[in-house]
Structure 1
Amino acid sequence: MTKSFSNKLGQGGYGDVYRGKLTNGRLVAVKFLKKSKGNGEEFINEVASISRTSHVNIVALHGFCYERKKRALIYEFMLNGSLDKFIYDQEPSSTNRNLEWKTMYQIAVGIARGLEYLHRGCNTRIVHFDIKPHNILLDEDFIPKIADFGLAKLCKKKESIISMLGARGTIGYIAPEIVCRNFGEVSHKSDVYSYGMMILEMVSGRKNIDVRVSHTSKIYFPSWIYKQLEPGKDFEFHGVVTEEEKELAKKMVLVSLWCIQTVPSDRPSMTRVVEMLEGGLEYLQVPPKPSLASQTRSPQHVSPISSSSSSSSTA
Structure 2
Amino acid sequence: MSGYTASEMTPSKTSTGESTLGADGRASKRVFLAAPRGFCAGVDRAIQIVEKSIERYGAPVYVRHEIVHNRHVVDRLSGLGAVFVAELSECPDDRPVVFSAHGVPKSVPRAAEARNLNFLDATCPLVSKVHVEAERHAKNGRHILLIGHTGHPEVIGTMGQLPEGDISLIETEEDARNFSPADPENLALVTQTTLSVDDTAGLIAILQERFPSIALPFKEDICYATTNRQAAVKAIAERCDLLLVIGSQKSSNSKRLVEVGAKGGADESMLISDADSLDWDRVDAAKTIGLSAGASAPEYLTNGVLAALRSRYDVTVEEVEVVKEKVVFRLPRQLLSA
Task: Indicate the structure (1 or 2) with the bigger Cα radius of gyration.
Answer: 2
Structure holding more helix per residue: 2
Q: What range is the shorter-chain TM-score in?
A: under 0.3
Q: What TM-score, normalized to structure 1?
A: 0.24
Higher relative contact order (CA 8 A, sep 6+): 2
Q: What TM-score, normalized to structure 2?
A: 0.23
